[in-house]
Amino acid sequence: LAKTTQPISMDSYEGQEVNITCSHNNIATNDYITWYQQFPSQGPRFIIQGYKTKVTNEVASLFIPADRKSSTLSLPRVSLSDTAVYYCLVGDSRYPGNQFYFGTGTSLTVIP
């Protein structure tokens, strides 16, 4: 199972771009990389998913290098409402596998 490692916490000022990197050295060929966001007192919410290169949606971008051993979630121009915990999950597209492993995530605090 591909384990993931993320920084425990990060601080950023409003308006800055935030990059959160996740390491997954043992990622397998069929594994997808998925990021979830969790606000206090709420359940996690899907942000973005990718397999390789770059994926962008209205919320974030996900950068995945060619070796896929890491990935970087990029949040453009963060606001106070982006303060949350961000989880990186790696799992097989066909089977549940360790897509269930959320870990402790990265707690992002956006400062005014």
Partner 1 sequence: GAGVSQSPRYKVTKRGQDVALRCDPISGHVSLYWYRQALGQGPEFLTYFNYEAQQDKSGLPNDRFSAERPEGSISTLTIQRTEQRDSAMYRCASSRGTGAFYEQYFGPGTRLTVT
| Shortest spacing between CB 88 and partner 1, in angstroms | 10
Cβ contacts of 100 within 8 Å, gap of 6 or more: 89, 91
Note whether 50 binds partner 1 by CB under 8 A: no
Cβ contacts of 78 within 8 Å, gap of 6 or more: 12, 14, 15, 16, 17, 18, 108, 110
Q: Which of 49, 72, 74, 83 binds partner 1 (CB under 8 A)?
A: 49
Backbone φ and ψ for 78, nearest 5 degrees, come out as -65, 150
Interacting span for partner 1 (CB under 8 A) from 17-25, 43-51, 56-64, 65-73:
43-51
Note whether 43 binds partner 1 by CB under 8 A: yes
DSSP reduced 3-state for 8: coil
| Shortest spacing between CB 101 and partner 1, in angstroms | 7
- Interaction site with partner 1 (CB under 8 A): 31-32, 34, 36, 42-46, 49, 85, 87, 89-97, 99-105
